[in-house]
Structure 1
């Protein structure tokens, strides 16, 4: 049974948040791509490079009129892992590979990266304040079938104004553990000092965070107990499917710069209901500090409530609100960082299993619009999706309208 506090919080949110519902922007039964010709599509199907049912959208990020949509290589036959759609285009428009077709259409059995521009398998991406797209490429194909580590994990950085690859950084051996899996990235940078960028990459399988500095072109690994999963929060029930995951730190979100110039990084393990934070000052200087003393600089904010596991989070500097997915509740929740971290102040903004089954990724763009991708991932992994139903959806909603008259409003 849920705690009384959680029931109250959910009830209040459902009443207060009912006025503003997200707008459906994109919807697909199955995704397809902007093939260069019908023959290319037919050949890709014949060669096993495109198995349409195996292409599941997972991550997103907006830049101007482009909405980037990632399709990880969970199974064989993913035609393109990094793509975009036009935000003003049709709801069911095909995905356009980015930066090009030749950089994405790679055989699952490949033994090496065809070119430095090539993209293998991407879960999440991040658009920074300097008009750059940061792509965390796991390098792993056919994850659930016959896993093939085509290449090591790397960060690929694209200039969105020219669609050119600026830089690619390959993770060092010291950055990785035996069970490492890198699927997310957030970027700490000011638009006036673009060269001084730091990327934070959670290791959900190896329970750590890798810090990368663009200026020094170097990286290091940060370890802490709070990066581990909670053994009491590894149980999920989504779409009638019960499953257990042991995913550690995954959701990262950065505040606006504080008075000292550093940001607060909010973080949580996927399989956990607790929320933590740490200053980016510690992350940036981790190789120079006393690790034992620094242990206590990682702070527990509190618990979000029963079954409140979150796949993604994003901090909106305009409202000071941390938004996060609620995979067990088929919706989105929030917390105003100016208020105490209590169950009552963590508000479930909307929830509907028929509309938002497994909300996987969310971002807030620089116009104050929240974008949400929903994809029924547990069905995709453990059963199969019905090609006659709408399976993948992307919604948008104003953050200020969404939190109006809730505990997340200032």
Structure 2
């Protein structure tokens, strides 16, 4: 009888163990699919491809494609916008999107070779209208010899045809001296595809730019909550200590509320607090009283110490906000139906090796949570070992990820 009880207890313990993300892709170094081996060799010789300088950062899924961005942190990034086949090999080379020709641009170029050319992309967004929204910073060799090849722009592709739909360059009034645009989220319903709004955080200039597709116009929003916290700018990841002053970076959109507008959750990278605002205010900001609007931005709460986050995504199926945990090598969550407290923001899973600097995450239309880790601090401040796995992409059902936690 005692043995049976022990077996039952062990079975219960195993069944209650939280599900862990599955490793889907892993690379020691990034390479691409080239037109020929000669093309690759020429790119290496000409400095267009320096393999050690290519680091994946952002992701987004559309059907059988998983988009993976490679920003031009350093010189020699062959292609900034790419994808892999969902069912392909774990270490498959990246496929440039929309083509290698559109991405293979010299770091010293003085202008865009064509309107569909891609310079440097951190994050992308797939909308319900089968469009890929790309925030192209236009800046090459960021930490080396920075070269602003083109102004920051929003680039939109039709995913069914792989054709460029539109490119919009930011106005001078959208930018500040220290502006840096590295993320984008899109507010649109599949029944009103023309009435789309993109929200782009300015982590260096502490603001948010709103772009209206229908109006083909943009405007800048400023607020104190877009700034970083002075006491939350210190990090230690992978044994490397560093200090960043990054402002608003992570944006996430809820489902439409009763009035038809969504809630935008946001936080600065160097912060442990979460805020929110209605997209009604963002869309109509140019027509409202700015002093009155100030109080429409709300503080939700604080996650607790060492909870800085690089990315967040709201899953409409579970009403849960997922976010990365940079200092804690993992992923956290918050059920939006509960108060925003440290106790309601659990660490779902953590691993200092597998999840070293989780840079981006997304939930796809099938309810799958995708995660990308890339050891960014080592890449920026030391060097990566080409003989070990440096970049990983994981997936897990969002509902499985929160099972048994306070986010369920």
* SS of alignment partner, residue 165 of structure 1: strand
Structure 2 CA distance for aligned equivalents of residues 62 and 205 of structure 1:
27
1:102 counterpart residue number:
101
* SS of alignment partner, residue 232 of structure 2: coil
Q: TM-score, normalised by structure 2?
A: 0.96
1:69 counterpart residue number:
68
2:201 counterpart residue number:
202
Q: CA deviation at 1:19?
A: 2.5
1:140 counterpart residue number:
139
1:330 counterpart residue number:
329
2:277 counterpart residue number:
278
Q: What does 1:290-305 correspond to in 2, within 5 Å?
A: 290-305=289-304
Q: What does 1:10-25 correspond to in 2, within 5 Å?
A: 18-25=17-24
Higher RCO (CA < 8 A, seq sep 6+) = 1
**Within the alignment, does 1:184 sit opposite 2:177 as a pair?**
no
| Counterparts in 2 of 1:16 and 1:316: CA distance versus 1, 3 Å | farther
Q: CA deviation at 1:239?
A: 0.4
Contact 1:277 1:301 in 2 (8 A): yes
1:244 counterpart residue number:
243
Structure 1 CA distance for aligned equivalents of residues 210 and 219 of structure 2:
5
**Within the alignment, does 1:391 sit opposite 2:383 as a pair?**
no
2:344 counterpart residue number:
345
Contact 2:207 2:221 in 1 (8 A): yes
* SS of alignment partner, residue 124 of structure 1: strand
Q: What does 1:2-401 correspond to in 2, within 5 Å?
A: 18-401=17-400
User: What is the CA deviation profile of residues 360-384 of structure 1, one whole-angstrom value per residue up to 9, with x for unaligned ones?
Assistant: 0000000000000000000000000
| Counterparts in 2 of 1:82 and 1:257: CA distance versus 1, 3 Å | same
User: What is the CA deviation profile of residues 379-407 of structure 1, one whole-angstrom value per residue up to 9, with x for unaligned ones?
Assistant: 00000000001000000000001101110
Q: CA deviation at 1:18?
A: 4.2
Structure 1 CA distance for aligned equivalents of residues 175 and 18 of structure 2:
46
User: What is the CA deviation profile of residues 318-366 of structure 1, one whole-angstrom value per residue up to 9, with x for unaligned ones?
Assistant: 0000000000000000000000111000010000101100000000000
Structure 2 CA distance for aligned equivalents of residues 342 and 243 of structure 1:
27
Q: CA deviation at 1:160?
A: 0.2
Contact 1:70 1:124 in 2 (8 A): yes
Contact 1:125 1:134 in 2 (8 A): yes
Listed as ranges, the gaps of 5+ residues in structure 1 are: 1-14
| Counterparts in 2 of 1:146 and 1:408: CA distance versus 1, 3 Å | same
Structure 2 CA distance for aligned equivalents of residues 116 and 48 of structure 1:
23
| Root mean square deviation of aligned Cα | 0.9
Runs of 4+ in 1 over 2 A off after TM superposition: 15-19
Contact 2:210 2:283 in 1 (8 A): yes
* SS of alignment partner, residue 103 of structure 1: helix
| Counterparts in 2 of 1:250 and 1:35: CA distance versus 1, 3 Å | same
Contact 1:18 1:350 in 2 (8 A): no
Structure 2 CA distance for aligned equivalents of residues 341 and 171 of structure 1:
35
Structure 2 CA distance for aligned equivalents of residues 201 and 62 of structure 1:
19
Contact 2:29 2:52 in 1 (8 A): yes
Structure 2 CA distance for aligned equivalents of residues 364 and 186 of structure 1:
13
2:405 counterpart residue number:
406
Report the structure number with the largest CA radius of gyration. Answer: 2
* SS of alignment partner, residue 27 of structure 1: strand
Listed as ranges, the gaps of 5+ residues in structure 2 are: 1-13
* SS of alignment partner, residue 160 of structure 2: coil
Contact 2:18 2:404 in 1 (8 A): no
Structure 1 CA distance for aligned equivalents of residues 369 and 401 of structure 2:
9
